[in-house]
């Protein structure tokens, strides 16, 4: 099987952006399942970490439901493969101060908060794997 790297990474973070939920749900879940299985087959010793898609203030109820379903599916699918973890960022579209005025993209504070949380999850998993 062809893989992306010569060396196996210790950790791989899987993150979908909010634009990914515009794909029909069945197609998206099929793609996610195939890609997660590919990563697990390619890197059986790698810790796969799923990160939830962030909520956007501009989404309607249907988009919100789809996002929740995709996040739940991603957490379950990654967890079912073995060495894994998931992270649910504590950032909500309702919170002031984390998003740019467009309500979609994180501002500098939001990015720092997001990346600090992600770093902690990766560190925790690397330390557990030692």
What CATH number is associated with residue 18?
A: 3.40.50.1110
Q: Which domain holds residue 110?
A: 11-128
State both tokens at 45: 């010793």
**8 A C-beta contact, residue 18 and residue 60:** no
Q: Give the pLDDT score at 47.
A: 96
> Smallest Cα–Cα separation from 40: which of 88, 8, 86, 7?
8
Is 3 within a domain? no
Counting the structural domains of the chain, the total is 1
Residue 35 lies in a domain: yes
Instruction: Determine, yes or no, domain membership for 1.
Output: no
d(CA 70, CA 82): 19
Place of tokens 């299985």: 37
pLDDT value at residue 59? 83
Asked if 37 contacts 78 with a C-beta cutoff of 8 angstroms, the reply is: no
Nearest to 10 by CA among 46, 61, 50, 57: 46
The pLDDT of residue 102: 84
Between 17 and 27, the higher pLDDT residue: 27
Residue 37, domain member (yes or no): yes
Could you tell me if residue 5 is inside a domain? no
């Amino acid at each position: 099987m062809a893989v992306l790297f010569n060396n196996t990474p210790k950790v791989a973070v899987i993150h979908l952006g909010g634009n990914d939920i515009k794909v029909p749900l069945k197609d998206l879940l099929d793609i996610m399942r195939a890609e997660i299985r590919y990563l697990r087959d390619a890197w059986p010793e790698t810790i796969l970490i799923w990160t939830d898609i962030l909520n956007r203030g501009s989404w309607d109820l249907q988009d919100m439901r789809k996002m929740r379903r995709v996040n739940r599916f991603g957490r379950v699918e990654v967890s079912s493969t073995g060495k894994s973890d998931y992270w649910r960022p504590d950032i909500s579209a309702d919170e002031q101060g984390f998003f740019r005025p467009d309500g979609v993209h994180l501002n500098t504070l939001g990015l720092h908060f997001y990346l600090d949380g992600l770093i902690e999850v990766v560190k925790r998993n690397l330390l557990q794997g030692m």
